[in-house]
Amino acid sequence: MEWDTIAAVATAPGEAGIGIVRISGDAAVEVGDRVFRGKRRLGESESHRMVYGRIVDPESGETVDEGLAVVMKGPRSYTGEDVVEIHGHGGPLVVRRVLEAVLRAGARLAEPGEFTKRAFLRGKMDLSQAEAVIDLIRAKSDLARRVALEQVQGRLSERIRKLRERLVDVLAHIEVTIDYPEHDVEAVTASHVRRAADEVVPEMDRLLRDAHSGRIIREGLETVIVGKPNVGKSSLLNALARADRAIVTDIPGTTRDVLQEFIQVRGIPLNVLDTAGIRETGDVVEQLGVQKSRERMKQADLVLLVLDASRPLEPTDVELMEELRSSPSPVLAVLNKVDLPVRVDRKAVEQYLGKDRIVEMVASQGKGVEELEDRIARMVFGGEVAGRDPAYLSNIRHIELVRKAREHLVSAARAAEEGFTLDVVAVDVRSAWEALGEIIGETASEQLLDQIFSRFCLGK
């Protein structure tokens, strides 16, 4: 067959309900079988028949989601190749984890428009559709490139550049040793490679861990809702999302972890996180939740502090306000439950957070949402809330590239220690360096030569 196996999320991002990951190519069924655990293997199941099963991470074996899978044998498929679709029922976060599992199982992330391209090249589409296919490829790749570039600006690209810098040190050294054997530079040894790996791999791990904690799944200003238990944080999230995603009860401490919702406010994408209520507690699980809430708060692009207007301020409220006053994140205070008699000391809140920082609401009835949205929009357009420079990986292609780079580097260090010769060690170091380069759009191999000649004095 002509092409390798590719995968991508087939459903539009943010779409509710199911998320579909599509795999296409020679090894689609094999890859599917590595992540999907049904009654029998996909390789043995009937074409075009849905089967039920678990979706697992091929490395850890951990269950990622449950759902359906279907094999569509080529040429009776969209692309004309063997296709496997995995229908998970999770939100965007889970779909993404399914896709990552599929990639780890050996598929390559599809280029923008690649499924359609294949469908066309395999004769699954009419000749008259060629232009439409071209338009699609153009539009999708332009968007993807813009988004990808935006995602690695600033500190993140700086971090990646530093890693590359360290790798090119070793690489240029290796290349000089090979291409100028009589030149008096210190010979590269296994320990040079090991040392570079020891420095670079942990930093790659940090990048991957940050990406995996799901801190930001997609673009969007990170908006964190904080407050004491039972002041109506989940109601606020629901009011904003206009959906019953978070569990709303009267029992304090229901939201123990972080819930999130992607919403658009006046066209501004927000990634709203509902946190566990902050209070003194003996419950260990809840303590963890509280701790997480505080962490979120510090990293947020915008904090929504929810206060119960029907009750006087408590020490926890004051503590929170003090914390927020000294934090760099812009804050809005939501005085909730204003339909009840107001007992809260509004002056005190103004003193801590500023006069124009208060929005009155009845979150459970959706009252005041418009006002809140207005306020958020004004803060964003006024430049007060700006997406902070994201120093973490958010693009799945980038995550894959870091993972790939890491694999190569580890394998280079291992090869060097096992006594493999420089020629093969170089292959992996170079692959690692190139993979990182792809993230920040530096792919010219001419760069390596520039490095070699600027670092080493070579001549004939």
Partner 1 sequence: MRYVAGDYDVIVVGAGHAGCEAALASARLGCKTLVLTINLDAVAYMPCNPSVGGPAKGIVVREIDALGGEMGKNADCTHIQMRMLNTGKGPAVRALRAQADKVLYGRRMKQVLESTPNLTLRQGLVEEILVRGGRVAGVRTQTGAEYRARAVVLTTGTYLRGRIIIGDVSYPGGPAGQMPALKLSENLADLGFELVRFKTGTPPRVNRRSIDFEKLIVQPGDDEWLHFSHEDQLPRRPQVPCWLTYTNERTHAIIYENLHRAPMFSGEIKGRGPRYCPSIEDKVVRFRDRPGHQVFLEPEGLFTDEWYVQGMSTSLPEDVQVEMLHTIPGLERAEIMRPGYAIEYDALVPTQLRPTLETKEIPGLFTAGQINGTSGYEEAAGQGIVAGINAALQVLEREPLVLSRADGYIGVMIDDLVTKGTNEPYRLLTSRAEHRLILRNDNADLRLMELGYRIGLVPERRYERLCRKKEQIERELDRLSTTRIKARDVEFLLRERGTAPVQDGVRLDQLLRRPEINYGDIERIAPPPEKLDPEAAEQVEIQIKYAGYIEKEQENIERMRRLEERVIPEGFDYREIPGLSSEGREKLMQIRPRSVGQAARISGVSPADISILLVYLEHRRRAANE
427 binds partner 1 (CB under 8 A): yes
Q: Which of 12, 17, 39, 131 binds partner 1 (CB under 8 A)?
A: 131
421 binds partner 1 (CB under 8 A): yes
Please tell me the total number of residues recorded for the chain in this structure: 460
Cα separation values, 370 from 2, 235, 266, 391, Å: 54, 15, 10, 32
| Encoded amino acid at 424, one letter | V
Phi first, then psi: give them for residue 336, nearest 5 degrees.
-90, 165
Query: How do the residues of the chain divide into helix, strand and coil, expressed in percent and rounded to 5?
Result: 45, 15, 35
DSSP letter at 362 equals B
296 binds partner 1 (CB under 8 A): no
DSSP 204-253: HHHHHHHHHTTS-SSSSEEEEEEESTTSSHHHHHHHHHTS--S---SSTT
Q: Which of 81, 82, 85, 114 binds partner 1 (CB under 8 A)?
A: 114
Q: How far is CA 342 from the centre of its chain?
A: 42
d(CA 39, CA 37): 7
Least separation in angstroms between CB 426 and partner 1: 8
The window from 16-24, 32-40, 122-130, 228-236 that contacts partner 1 (CB under 8 A) reads: 122-130
Residue whose token pair is 């920082």? 357
Least separation in angstroms between CB 415 and partner 1: 9
Least separation in angstroms between CB 149 and partner 1: 13
Least separation in angstroms between CB 419 and partner 1: 4
b/e string for 424-448 if b means 16 or more Cβ within 10 A? ebbebbbbbbbbbbbbbeeeeeeeb
182 binds partner 1 (CB under 8 A): yes
368 binds partner 1 (CB under 8 A): no
Residue whose token pair is 């401490």? 253
Work out the angle between the directed axes of helices 190-212 and 422-439 (0-180°, nearest 10): 30
Q: Which of 16, 178, 285, 288 binds partner 1 (CB under 8 A)?
A: 178
146 binds partner 1 (CB under 8 A): no
117 binds partner 1 (CB under 8 A): yes
133 binds partner 1 (CB under 8 A): yes
Least separation in angstroms between CB 133 and partner 1: 5
d(CA 25, CA 15): 26
The window from 33-41, 70-78, 192-200, 415-423 that contacts partner 1 (CB under 8 A) reads: 415-423
267 binds partner 1 (CB under 8 A): no
137 binds partner 1 (CB under 8 A): yes
d(CA 233, CA 249): 11
Question: 436 to 455, contacts with partner 1 by CB under 8 A?
Answer: 444-446, 448-449, 452-453
Q: Which is nearer to partner 1, 116 or 329 (CB)?
A: 116
Binding mask 54-93 for partner 1 (x = CB under 8 A): ----------------------------------------
Phi first, then psi: give them for residue 342, nearest 5 degrees.
-80, 125
d(CA 394, CA 400): 11
396 binds partner 1 (CB under 8 A): no
Q: Which of 134, 201, 248, 348 binds partner 1 (CB under 8 A)?
A: 134
410 binds partner 1 (CB under 8 A): no
d(CA 356, CA 236): 19
24 binds partner 1 (CB under 8 A): no
Phi first, then psi: give them for residue 30, nearest 5 degrees.
-60, -50
Q: Which is nearer to partner 1, 184 or 370 (CB)?
A: 184
244 binds partner 1 (CB under 8 A): no
Residue whose token pair is 């899978």? 69
186 binds partner 1 (CB under 8 A): no
177 binds partner 1 (CB under 8 A): yes
Total of chain residues touching partner 1, rule CB under 8 A:
50
Sign of CA dihedral 150, 155, 156, 158: positive
Contact call for residues 268 and 377 (beta carbons, < 8 A):
yes
Q: Give the angle subtended at the CA of 398 by the CAs of 392 and 404, to the nearest 5°.
A: 115
Q: Which is nearer to partner 1, 196 or 358 (CB)?
A: 196
Binding mask 156-175 for partner 1 (x = CB under 8 A): -------------------x
231 binds partner 1 (CB under 8 A): no
Residue whose token pair is 């391209």? 117
179 binds partner 1 (CB under 8 A): yes
Q: Calculate the dihedral angle through the C-alpha atoms of 344, 346, 350, 355, rounding to the nearest 10 degrees.
A: 140
Under the rule (CB under 8 A), what is the footprint of partner 1? 2, 4, 111-114, 117, 120-121, 123, 127, 130-131, 133-135, 137-138, 141-142, 145, 175, 177-184, 418-424, 426-427, 444-446, 448-449, 452-453, 457-460
